[in-house]
Structure 1
Amino acid sequence: MDKEEVLNEKYDEKLDRQDVEGQLELNEEDDSPIEEVRVTVPNTDDPLMPCNTFRMWFLGLLFTAIISFVNQFFYLRQTQISIGYSVVALISLPIGHLMARILPTRQFSLFGTSFSLNPGPFSIKEHVLIGTMTACNTGTAYAVDIVILQKLFYNDEKPFIAGLLLVLTTQITGFALAGALRKFLIRPAHMIWPSTLVTASLFRSLHHSVEREDDVGRMTRMKYFLIVTFGSFVWYWFPGFMFPTLGMIAWICWINPNNLILAQLTGTNGLGIGAIALDWSAASYYVSPLVTPWFAQVNILIGFILVTYIMVPWAYYTDLWGSKKYPILSAGLYKDDGTAYNKSLILTDGIMDPQKYIDYGPMRMDSFFALTYGVGFAGLTATVVHVVLYNGREMLDRWKSARTQNEDIHSRLMRVYPEVPNWWYLSLFILSLGLSFVTCVVWGYMPWWAVLLAMGIAIFFVLPVGVVQAVTNQQPGLNIVTEYVIGYMLPGHAITNVTFKTYGYIVNVQALTFTADLKLGHYMKIPPRIMFMAQVVSTFIAGVINLSTATWLINTRPNICTKEGYPFTCRSTKTFYSASIIWGAVAPDRVFGNKDGALYSPVQWGFLVGALLPIPFWIASKKFPHITWLKYVHWPVLLAATSNMPPALPYFYTNGLFLGFVFMFLLRRYRYSWWSRYNYLTSAAMDSGVAICGLIIFFAIQSWEGEFPYWWGNPEDQDYDHCMLANANYYGEIH
């Protein structure tokens, strides 16, 4: 046994002994009151464990650069892929151990500070920080799409520095807001942030080498994780490459694929009734079935059935708004006769020409698309009202109380680490806000007052949306309301609309993304100041790389973002472009108002309906406290259930909710011992296997134009569910 192995063994024994002894000394009050947290997060800490090390910064920045480039590169391709947390965690672990083995241990001095390149065994805290630096940036910077839109779709290219400031201000301003949320969304024990429990379970499994007494005779978490990851990796070759039909088995449609109504109701591109997805990436796309609490999944199920299986068929088959001229489920824009809407014919220099719009004719959409907008309006106001009614008193109490009151063991353990001063967050916010004014005013993205209004919307909604996400793992989006507001205030200006949306929506999203990472740091006992620096530095680097990668591609790839530019067809960017037309160029007054042939004004009643729905259920829960199910009615989650459709498809939900029933209800209730040990680990392992397999498929095969031979399970026309009529309108026409 060499020196490194001896050090690792002693370190593990120390942690295990501390953990066991700590458990013996603790009483019930010294553990989290939340069951999911108790079974996932240890209630002990070693403040001397190294985390702010050369290894952490080197690997964290390296993977930040790699992930930012790869994810932006694939974002513009027809088939997208995003490398996530779990892949980085797996790859960085052996590299970290290797660096602990080979780096010199002698002390260095820099600016009066003494440090070592190798302070000992590679620690779990270093590993979590590496993962956090990359997790901040696994999604590409939203504002990059504005840069692409301006050059390729509106022929209005701005200087690189303008795009860079746009990207950085929208990404970092949200982080500044996260500091104000700590008291409300991180320290309270019941703000659990379910997705962080999966991550915590993953890192514990990768670093837990000494078994406790109650683990004897059971498969270790690490072994289980590797087995499930390998199984997921092997299986994904079938739905992901060789046999795509396995991912969308529309078996009811196969009974009679030439029956139009049967295809629309059961095809995977229709309502997907009965469709089976033997593909983890589809089943876990939105619901996150092994992470989202069961009560939240029940709310999602009710909202899904209400909209998808009741409202949509009624609207479509009664021909509401002329729905029968369009497919039953589509994000496309159409003319009144059902043909595709040519958006370029209503624009002059990127701004909508009212006369051209009148001459060409009004824009139409299918009833499903229109109804989901209305439900989205309702979900937004329901979020505010629900949080005020159910969480308002608690938030007010926390505002008044000292920060050390009513804290669980994890908050008390974090007291040993100096907190990030509020002036750090305030200075960052002021700097970001100032640069936002410069960016938007100097380069004409939008007026200065629009910057303030967008920031105001983001700040107003960040706490209520954060409460919903922290408890249910679902995040109501602000994209609709931001587009709606600026669309009425500055109609006809497409770039202004998407810029306003980016500041109002993404600042809110980034604030909650950073807050979730801070909660993970809270669970894993990461010093807050180190977490702050890691997040800010990695976000800055990722923004530069995202924009540089996109700029390089649009300058070097011929016909990019067109069919001729395959595989760089920019599928998501085109959706972003369509939104700029709907909400910016045409504007909501001509879509949801009463101007120039608008039809969809009734969906605006969603704002009022959403605000009213939580009230009677809250009153009933107070008046009848013995009726337990009343307190689990969560209207923001119920109404946001279909907010991701399209592009999400109904069969994603049904398959995900079935898995949720198995894991979060049946196994938790009847096989609790297994569930508490392996449930969250299963989710992380399945994600890891799919991600690794996807990387190999794309880099080793498809990037070289390799394809699996065509056959029934992999048809050349990409009709994988063999139910083509699901894409047709009521009259059997496919435009």
Structure 2
Amino acid sequence: MAKNQDANVKTTEVYTVERQNSDSNISDALSSKSPPQDNESGKEELDSDIAELPQVVRDTVTFEDDPTIAVFTFRYFLLSMIFIIPGAFIDTMNSYRTTSAAYSIFFVQIASHWAGRWLARVLPNKTIRFGRFFSFSLNPCPYSVKETVLVTLTASSGATGNLGTSSLSLAEIYYGETVSAAVSLFFMWAIVGIGYSFAAISRSLLLYDPQFIWPQSLMTANLMNVQSRGDSDSKSSKKQMKVFLYVIAGVCVWHFFPEYIFPMTSSLAFLCWVAPENYVANFVGSGLGGMGFLNFTLDWSNITSSIMLYPYWVQVVSFLAFVLSAWILIPSIKFGNLSSFKHGLMSNSLFLANGTRYPTSQLLTSDFQLNVTRYHELGEVHLGAQRAYNMFFDYAAYLSGFVWALVFGFDSLKGSLMKLVESHKKKQSLASQYTDRLNKIQSAYKEVPIYWYLVLFLGSFITLLVIFATDSLFMPWWCLLVGVGIGAVIVTPLAWLYALSNFQLAIGTFNELLYGYMIQGRPHRHPAGATVFGAVAGDSWYRAQYMLQDMKIGHYMHIPPRAVFFSQVWGSFIGVFVNYGALRWVLSSKKDYLNGTKVDHLHQWTGQSIVSYHTNAIQYVVLGPSRLFKNYQILPYGFLLGAVAPLIVYGVYRLFPKSKLQFNLWNTTVFFSTMSTFYGNISTGPLSSFIGGTVTNFYAFRYHHSFWQKWNYLVAAAADTGYNLAVLLIFIFFSAGKTTLMPNWWGNNEKTIERCFALAKAG
């Protein structure tokens, strides 16, 4: 950023709180605005409208735009299809495999930019005509970063999986029911369309207001700008691109060690090294089956770019939740008397009273209903202790998200709503109601009309209604109304939290629980119905988030809003075809492995996520919540905790608004959600992540801000890209054909890579 701009901007400490009208709105990376300036020149006016933006945004985006640049070119359509097809296929296929190679959107971002520039050099400037009314040029103009942005946004919509494949494959693998291709495709398109249309609910409140920075969008915009500057001959730009490529190469090479050659580096359990045959020390120190105390990791997959994206207050709250969960509750249950049932302490499975796995397959009749006689013979189901409190805090997090947004976000949302009303009165675009530079730039483009979203919603909703009303899928039609209604309600509060913190609240467990309560009294209920309901209600939020996040990228990169809207609809339209094709290929060639008829000697095609969906179907549909929670009556009180905790924090904050403890940053939703997602016996990573976050988003941001400004998002994107490239190469070299295992050695012990021998011996 230019020096004259910095001179008029008063910087403050990291993640301060911006106050308006004596009320505070949480903003993770906002700095206080500059005091009013006497504007005596156009130059000072220019600085003033830039100063209205948060400092982290000023540090990242550019403020120059050329509205005449073409974005819909032949190159765009060609590249978008090239990058969608493999991504959609790989992502769908990966959901059935034990190990897989991630399809990185950063790879698309980098590769499409280079490919686009190459096409601009080699394609002829030739016009192709189809009849009298349609024609296009193969190479109409110089290639620009705006085409890269649109290709990336299109791929983020299409080169991914689809929630609909879970219910379709669950029904076919476990219950032998194949859904027709037409119903499958329209179902998958419709749940995406519902989510995209719901972005309209929050767009006006969360997109234009500068305080909502959308950290993930900011990182993407930063990389886009670095790529764009790299096309120039400036020494600084070339240096940034070189560093970016060096980090990719370095991280890629390194990850052959924790991922394959030297897996011990993924979980450094020092207590196990000190006392390898002591069970208590092993359990306390192990990150793969224990508490993970003083456990460190050198595996980027256990750390991720979240340490550079999440505001520091989010990382602090999350780490405290991890400490309570892994370092306090787990040992209290295991070694104390905190829980009377200690079987399956850190397991998501269901258990009999004696601690053995519950034989859920014996509970189904031939028409997939509950075999009551067999259920009484086997006895009630038991949850692992961690699974039980995970569910408790999951319910608390869900309700906390609404209450927190209401008490802490009311003023900011109210201000955005008033500007929305004012824009309608003046018949102006909403962007014109804000005076910051980015909104001034965007006001030159036509906004997406609300009726576009309405048409998308009605088309998707009517499609789903016809599918369920004709019993073409496994859910009663009236449940669609509930699922869509829930999606409409949750979009704004959850998007508000995500826009400020990059923290995404998972909602799957609540949706399946709600479906279980709705359906448990019906005489005929298909187990796959819960997954169908989860796809409808879940995509209402997840796809809306994708739409809003990509629209914010377009906002930062000066892309016409209508072009962003089209890119996402186009991407999903292509992607769903590929998703379904990948689903059919997997089920036609690997079904016997997935349902257990045959054993995959490579241990790849295990369908673990589908197994998890099947377990949830047994819990919530076949048994029903009433039977499941008979021994866990405290679980519904999680909702009460979620409703009350934000009010308590808000009350304390109002009593002590200037406290150095900054009570408005102690977000209960983040805390409860972290408590609810500590699964899988994996506790390596959080300590290393917290240390890394302290270095990057606290120390570097506060004391070396210019360095942070130049390198933070660039290195974050490069590290993620390098890791994903390493996983892809490892998959190709050692798993795509014949699986080649790394020989056992000191750093890859066949019993335990952490060398926690007592814990491994105990199983």
Matches within 5 A, 1:273-288: 273-284=293-304, 288=306
Q: When the two structures are superposed, what TM-score results if normalisation uses the length of structure 2? A: 0.87
Label 1:667 to 1:30 Cα distance change in 2 as closer, same or farther (>3 A).
Answer: closer
Q: Specify the code of the residue in structure 1 equivalent to 2:672.
A: L
The residue that corresponds to 1:416 in the other structure is 444
The residue that corresponds to 2:9 in the other structure is none
Contact 1:446–1:496 (Cα < 8 Å) also in 2: yes
The residue that corresponds to 1:356 in the other structure is 374
Q: Specify the code of the residue in structure 2 equivalent to 1:646.
A: Y
The residue that corresponds to 1:155 in the other structure is 176
The residue that corresponds to 2:140 in the other structure is 119
The residue that corresponds to 2:62 in the other structure is 42
The answer to whether 1:379 aligns with 2:412 is no
Deviations 1:623-645 (Å, cap 9, x if unpaired)? 32211412212111121113332
Deviations 1:477-510 (Å, cap 9, x if unpaired)? 2212211211112126421222112211222111
Label 1:543 to 1:192 Cα distance change in 2 as closer, same or farther (>3 A).
Answer: same
Deviations 1:121-180 (Å, cap 9, x if unpaired)? 221110011111111244411110111111111222222222222222222210111123
Matches within 5 A, 1:154-303: 154-209=175-230, 220-268=239-287, 269-284=289-304, 288-303=306-321
The residue that corresponds to 1:18 in the other structure is none
Equivalent of 1:426 in 442, 454, 466? 454
The residue that corresponds to 1:342 in the other structure is 359
Label 1:377 to 1:558 Cα distance change in 2 as closer, same or farther (>3 A).
Answer: closer
The residue that corresponds to 2:16 in the other structure is none
Equivalent of 1:617 in 613, 624, 649? 649
Q: Specify the code of the residue in structure 2 equivalent to 1:260.
A: Y
Shift of 1:270: 1.8
Q: Residues of 1 paired with 2:83 and 2:681: CA distance?
A: 29
Give % identity. 26
The answer to whether 1:489 aligns with 2:518 is yes
Contact 2:50–2:58 (Cα < 8 Å) also in 1: no
Label 1:130 to 1:31 Cα distance change in 2 as closer, same or farther (>3 A).
Answer: farther
Label 1:304 to 1:146 Cα distance change in 2 as closer, same or farther (>3 A).
Answer: same
Unaligned segments of structure 1, at least 5 residues: 1-20, 593-597
Q: Residues of 2 paired with 1:332 and 1:657: CA distance?
A: 30
Contact 1:352–1:493 (Cα < 8 Å) also in 2: no
The answer to whether 1:602 aligns with 2:623 is no
Label 1:146 to 1:99 Cα distance change in 2 as closer, same or farther (>3 A).
Answer: same
The answer to whether 1:439 aligns with 2:467 is yes
The answer to whether 1:586 aligns with 2:623 is yes
The answer to whether 1:365 aligns with 2:393 is no
Shift of 1:38: 1.1
Q: When the two structures are superposed, what TM-score results if normalisation uses the length of structure 1? A: 0.91
Contact 2:49–2:435 (Cα < 8 Å) also in 1: no
The residue that corresponds to 2:561 in the other structure is 528
Equivalent of 2:532 in 496, 499, 502? 499
State which drifts further: 529-538 or 556-565: 556-565
Label 1:669 to 1:726 Cα distance change in 2 as closer, same or farther (>3 A).
Answer: farther
Contact 1:334–1:363 (Cα < 8 Å) also in 2: yes
Matches within 5 A, 1:460-499: 460-491=489-520, 493-499=526-532
Contact 2:292–2:326 (Cα < 8 Å) also in 1: no
Contact 2:593–2:606 (Cα < 8 Å) also in 1: yes
Matches within 5 A, 1:49-128: 49-108=69-128, 112=133, 115-128=136-149
Contact 1:420–1:529 (Cα < 8 Å) also in 2: yes
Contact 1:446–1:499 (Cα < 8 Å) also in 2: yes
Q: Residues of 2 paired with 1:238 and 1:540: CA distance?
A: 39
Label 1:549 to 1:217 Cα distance change in 2 as closer, same or farther (>3 A).
Answer: closer
The residue that corresponds to 1:310 in the other structure is 328
Contact 1:479–1:505 (Cα < 8 Å) also in 2: yes
Q: Specify the code of the residue in structure 2 equivalent to 1:448.
A: W
Shift of 1:119: 2.5
Contact 1:31–1:43 (Cα < 8 Å) also in 2: no
Shift of 1:409: 1.6
Q: Residues of 2 paired with 1:529 and 1:32: CA distance?
A: 26
State which drifts further: 61-70 or 553-562: 553-562
Label 1:143 to 1:22 Cα distance change in 2 as closer, same or farther (>3 A).
Answer: farther
Q: Specify the code of the residue in structure 2 equivalent to 1:88.
A: V
Q: Residues of 1 paired with 2:678 and 2:277: CA distance?
A: 25
The residue that corresponds to 2:604 in the other structure is 567
Matches within 5 A, 1:515-554: 515-554=548-587
State which drifts further: 261-270 or 599-608: 261-270
The residue that corresponds to 1:33 in the other structure is 53
The answer to whether 1:655 aligns with 2:684 is no
Contact 2:88–2:579 (Cα < 8 Å) also in 1: yes
Q: Residues of 1 paired with 2:51 and 2:179: CA distance?
A: 54
Deviations 1:405-430 (Å, cap 9, x if unpaired)? 24522122111111111111100000
The CA RMSD over aligned residues, in Å, is 2.3
The answer to whether 1:508 aligns with 2:541 is yes
Q: Residues of 2 paired with 1:727 and 1:351: CA distance?
A: 39
Shift of 1:288: 1.1
Deviations 1:249-293 (Å, cap 9, x if unpaired)? 222123223333322222122221122111111112xx8111101
Label 1:129 to 1:219 Cα distance change in 2 as closer, same or farther (>3 A).
Answer: closer
Deviations 1:650-674 (Å, cap 9, x if unpaired)? 2232222221111111111222111
> What SS does structure 2 have at the residue aligned with 1:559?
helix
Q: Specify the code of the residue in structure 1 equivalent to 2:510.
A: V
Contact 2:398–2:669 (Cα < 8 Å) also in 1: yes
Shift of 1:694: 1.4
> What SS does structure 2 have at the residue aligned with 1:419?
coil
The answer to whether 1:710 aligns with 2:748 is no
The answer to whether 1:555 aligns with 2:588 is yes
Q: Residues of 1 paired with 2:682 and 2:502: CA distance?
A: 19
Q: Specify the code of the residue in structure 1 equivalent to 2:730.
A: I
Matches within 5 A, 1:695-734: 695-713=728-746, 715=748, 717=750, 719-723=752-756, 726=759, 732=762, 734=763
Contact 2:251–2:722 (Cα < 8 Å) also in 1: yes
Label 1:482 to 1:727 Cα distance change in 2 as closer, same or farther (>3 A).
Answer: farther
**Number of equivalent positions:** 700
Matches within 5 A, 1:630-649: 630-647=663-680, 649=682
Unaligned segments of structure 2, at least 5 residues: 1-40, 424-429
> What SS does structure 2 have at the residue aligned with 1:536?
helix
> What SS does structure 2 have at the residue aligned with 1:289?
helix
Q: Residues of 1 paired with 2:573 and 2:652: CA distance?
A: 48
Contact 1:22–1:44 (Cα < 8 Å) also in 2: no
Label 1:162 to 1:321 Cα distance change in 2 as closer, same or farther (>3 A).
Answer: farther
